[in-house]
A and B are shown apart, each in its own frame.
Chain A
Amino acid sequence: MSYLDLSIREIHQALVEKKTTPLELAKEALERAKANNDNAFEMLLEEEAILEASKLVEPEEDNLLWGIPYCLKDNFSTKGFETTASSNVLNGYVPLFDATVVSKLKEKKCVLIGKTTLDELAMGGTGTTGHKGITFNPYDPSHTHMVGGSSCGSAAVVAAGIVPFALGSDTGDSVRKPASYAGLVGMKPTWGRISRYGLFPFAPSLDHVGFFTRDVEDSAILLEALSGRDDMDSTSSFRPVDSYLPKEKSLKGKRIAVLSEIVDAISNKEVRASFDRAVKAMEDEGAIIDYVKFGLQDLEAIYATYIVISCAEATSNDANLDGIKFGAYHGGKTYREVMSNARTEGFSHLIKRRFIIGSFALMRENVDVLFTRAQKVRAKITARVNEILKDHDTIFLPAAPSPAPLLSASSDALSDEYLIADNHLALGNFAGLPSVTVPLSFVDGLPIGVNFMCRAFEEKELYNLASAFEKISGLAGLSTVSPKEARL
């Protein structure tokens, strides 16, 4: 244990009392990063981190993030540093500006340690498809289980205790699912709460900035720092930024909806039993639990709706990765050949597959029955989610139906377990609602998590609930460096 393993507030206190320094923290984070073998980094920024940390001498007492080291998913633009989104198509691309979230963390004087791996262009949920290969789960030294994706590297570096927090992005569940597999708090706030300027778009109607921390208060501290209107992102909200630090940590009288079809679809008995214990413990704390039927047919359509909308948006968004406007140049005799060479060489098969699916959904003969219909299904599903949240403070569910799957496992893509229990976190992206994953317990030594989702812009309520749950689970501050005993 070292200062690096404490909560952000505790590290801040140690910095203010000069028991440690940003430089010591950065050096230790870099040492841990170099010793780690989970393949979580696109690049380490060793010299830059040491230089920046060295400049931080006089602690800012009112700035909890002063001198805190962190990592960043490699799909956020960083001025002067290569940003590839783990795709060969962007090899060598050096942005000329910082993403707004990067600027905000610079203003807070956080120290960027490195940029982390992702599934190529953030399209994927396994952490296996980036151009640097598989990113592994720090809880599995045998390297046989995935850490999940697409924000695989960011999940791994926080779980391995390298940094107290890391930024990711979440289009379907790309922060909240790996958070479950890596025993972390994974947060995706309301759509529009955090500016996405400088985040490479995948599917902008679904994309969110998200982040991993080791406890709920750290997550709230980050949300306060990153939220707010940004004129560089026209979809960012004008709503004033609240104070999100959890205060009321009681579950007494809270109405909690559990979607019964999703829980019933889970075949892993230990996950189900642990979740049932969590529900019982929350009831014992005074929460009112309602098992609510969502509508099986609508839930079964989540995955296809997500695939159609996200692939269609991606096909359009990534048209600019053509070796001329963006992307590695591979030559060619005509401009079409330049573009074709860049895209043929740059994208992996999996990305081309997504683009063809998106293109198929947008073909003249299909656009009404696939794309427009998927947008209507999204509207119907969103209306149902909001209807449930009219009568309940939150929707509470297992974040995933199992602990981290084996890397060799193939999913049964048409089973209810896959279609419903493995994809329900996309509900938060469809509706743009705040949603946080919190550690629940362990199954076979691997972490599992639960997820809370609240009404739009009710992040404060979300953190109160998550914080109350954290007290029950006893897993605040969890990492492989700071193991904890599960209670549920």
Chain B
Amino acid sequence: MKEINMEVIHDAAHRLLFDMSESGYEMLLKEFDVLIQQMETIGKIEGLEDYEPMTFPFDCTVDVLREDIPETPLPRDEALKNAGNVQDHQIKLPKVVL
């Protein structure tokens, strides 16, 4: 298991695109002491070679397509209702390519 330290936590937060207060980072590092002990209970389980990783409780593979039902598309005003910054009926964001 990767060793947990302040750098790892900062890096994870950065990749997850958020920041925390310094006291928040320190609190989380302390919490990891207990979390790592809890996570070690997973490592103690024996006989796992007989099991496949379980991703869903049951097989839920489906290959059906929904019926094509003609319907009115979402009106523009409604579609823009939740956008934070709108200009000329378009969602305005900072430039992606500078």
| Contact-size category for B | 35 or more
Of residues 3 to 50 in B, which have CB atoms within 8 Å of A's CB atoms?
4, 8-9, 12-13, 15-20, 24, 27-28, 31, 34-35, 37-48, 50
Please determine whether B52 and A92 come into contact, CB atoms closer than 8 angstroms. no
What is the interface of chain B, defined by CB distance below 8 A to chain A? 1-2, 4, 8-9, 12-13, 15-20, 24, 27-28, 31, 34-35, 37-48, 50-58, 60, 62, 64, 66-67, 74, 78-79, 81-85, 93-96, 98
| Contact-size category for A | 35 or more
Label chain A's interface by main secondary structure.
helix
* A482 contacts partner chain B, Cβ-Cβ < 8 Å: no
* A35 contacts partner chain B, Cβ-Cβ < 8 Å: no
Question: A412-438 interface mask toward B, CB cutoff 8 Å, 1 = contact, 0 = none?
Answer: 011000010000000000111100000
* A352 contacts partner chain B, Cβ-Cβ < 8 Å: yes
Residues of B with C-beta under 8 A to A379: 51-54
Residues of B with C-beta under 8 A to A361: 39
CB-CB nearest 5 A-B residue pairs: A329-B84, A432-B57, A375-B53, A379-B54, A343-B18
**Contact flag A335-B96 (CB < 8 Å), given A373-B43, A375-B54, A383-B51:** yes
Please determine whether A432 and B58 come into contact, CB atoms closer than 8 angstroms. yes
Please determine whether B1 and A365 come into contact, CB atoms closer than 8 angstroms. yes
Q: In whole angstroms, what is the CA distance A372 to B45 when docked?
A: 13
Please determine whether A301 and B42 come into contact, CB atoms closer than 8 angstroms. yes
The one of B17, B62, B74, B79 that contacts A336, using a Cβ cutoff of 8 Å: B17
Q: In whole angstroms, what is the CA distance A83 to B55 when docked?
A: 28
Q: In whole angstroms, what is the CA distance A246 to B35 when docked?
A: 43
Residues of A with C-beta under 8 A to B4: 360
Q: In whole angstroms, what is the CA distance A336 to B1 when docked?
A: 30
Q: In whole angstroms, what is the CA distance A195 to B24 when docked?
A: 37
- B56 CB to nearest A CB, Å: 5
Label chain B's interface by main secondary structure.
loop
Please determine whether A337 and B54 come into contact, CB atoms closer than 8 angstroms. no
Q: In whole angstroms, what is the CA distance A380 to B50 when docked?
A: 8
* A488 contacts partner chain B, Cβ-Cβ < 8 Å: no
- B40 CB to nearest A CB, Å: 8
Residues of B with C-beta under 8 A to A205: 54-57
The one of B28, B83, B85, B96 that contacts A353, using a Cβ cutoff of 8 Å: B28
Chain A to chain B contacts (Cβ below 8 Å), 29 pairs: A94-B81, A192-B60, A231-B64, A234-B60, A235-B56, A235-B60, A297-B41, A297-B44, A297-B45, A298-B45, A304-B39, A305-B42, A308-B42, A322-B17, A324-B93, A331-B84, A334-B94, A337-B94, A338-B93, A343-B16, A349-B27, A352-B13, A356-B28, A360-B2, A360-B12, A361-B39, A363-B2, A376-B54, A430-B57
Q: In whole angstroms, what is the CA distance A332 to B31 when docked?
A: 31
Residues of B with C-beta under 8 A to A383: 51
